[in-house]
Amino acid sequence: MADGSRTAPLTCWWYSSGSGNNCVEVAGLAHAAYQAIAIRDSKNSGGPALLFEPEGIVALVADVRDGSLTT
């Protein structure tokens, strides 16, 4: 039964130390029923996080690398 909480049970957040302040933080979900990865803005650690399945992260990174994402 869901408890109505919108807070994801996360392990620790990590980010690249070489990125300065222009970074996202990443964490793996600590939930046995599914695997997901959370991403948030490192400058707003109390803000929202985007949740991705592992395949979604692979696709996102590929799109960022090849420049196919536009604003």
Residue 40: beta bridge partners? 25
The predicted pLDDT at position 8 comes to 56
For residue 66, the model assigns a pLDDT of: 93
Torsion of CA 44, 46, 48, 52, to 10 degrees: 90
What integer pLDDT is reported at residue 32 of this predicted model? Answer: 56
Report pLDDT for 28. 86
**What's the average pLDDT block by block, 10 residues per block, for the chain (71 residues)?**
52 78 81 79 88 90 89 69
Indicate the burial class of 1 (C-beta count within 10 angstroms; 0-12, 13-18, 19 or more). Answer: exposed
Strand order through the sheet with 24-28: 24-28, 37-41, 50-52
